[in-house]
Structure 1
Amino acid sequence: MKDLACEQFQDTVSQFLIRHQSILDILSKSQESNARVNRAVVKAVTNCGCVKIKAEKHDIPPEATLADLKTLLSTHLEGELCPNCRDIIVGEMGKSLFYMTALCHSLGLNLSDVLQQENEKVSTLRVFNFT
């Protein structure tokens, strides 16, 4: 089953993918856009302060199961993104999605199929997916 939003987005990206048609351009722009997402999150912490990172070692009891990890582990984030930081991060994530979609287009892949396949894999493997 195709996702209409993914199909429309991929069609739009393919129409406006003019300057960065080379796979090399797409790969480098994708990497750059991912770095900008990371930088925007860091700036939310260091410049704005709307979120804080409180990272420390997780104490995991030896008897804990994989299912227990959902409640034992945390994001290390405190607070909530302010509207400005949220807008910046969403914008940077959008650019990152643009280049990921451009990569799909250039390789003849369908973004919706990629998402569906990953969803099926995660749903099947469940907590064992990224252990």
Structure 2
Amino acid sequence: MHDKCCLDFQAAVDQYLIRHRSILDVLTKYQEATARVNRAMAKAVTECGCVTVQASRPQIPPDATYSELRQFMSSHLSGEPCAACREIIAKELGHSLFYLAALCNLTGLNLHDIMRQERSNLTTLGAYHLS
């Protein structure tokens, strides 16, 4: 089911990506789209105020094990985006996904296969995957 969702999405992107078909266009549009996601989140904090950021250095005991680290870490995010901000963030994430799928199409990669491989790496390697 999920495989079909990714395939259908990639096919729709391929069908409707006409004007910005160059790899350079897709790369820069993808970068712009991800920047707009960042901007939408920042506006939720700075303009709307529905979300706040309260960042500080994590207080991790020196004897904490790696498996315990998660309980000492924070997203630094307080609150949830309001309906208006949520809609904008979702829209910008959708544009980012559009250009990610376009990049997959241009390079002959399958988004679902990439996601499945990444999940496999995560479950196999766990935290070592990120190094």
TM-score by length of 2: 0.96
Structure 1 or 2: larger helix share?
A: 2
Question: For residues 83-94 of structure 1, what are the structure 2 equivalents within 5 Å?
Answer: 83-94=83-94
Residue 87 of structure 1, CA deviation: 0.4
Give SS of 1:52's match: strand
**Runs of 5+ consecutive residues of structure 1 not aligned to the other structure:** none
CA contact (8 A) 1:55 1:76 kept: yes
Q: Aligned residues, how many?
A: 131
The residue that corresponds to 2:52 in the other structure is 52
- Output the CA distance in 2 between the equivalents of 1:105 and 1:65: 42
Q: Relative to structure 2, which stretch is displaced further, 118-127 or 47-56?
A: 118-127
Give SS of 1:44's match: helix
* CA RMSD of superposed structures (Å): 1.3
Give SS of 1:67's match: helix
Give CA-to-partner distance per residue, 1:82-116, whole Å, 9 cap, x none: 00000000000000000000000000001111111
The residue that corresponds to 2:17 in the other structure is 17
- Output the CA distance in 2 between the equivalents of 1:71 and 1:3: 34
The residue that corresponds to 2:116 in the other structure is 116
Residue 47 of structure 1, CA deviation: 0.2
- Output the CA distance in 2 between the equivalents of 1:7 and 1:41: 29
TM-score by length of 1: 0.96
Give SS of 2:52's match: strand
* One-letter amino acid matched to 2:90: V
- Output the CA distance in 2 between the equivalents of 1:66 and 1:89: 33
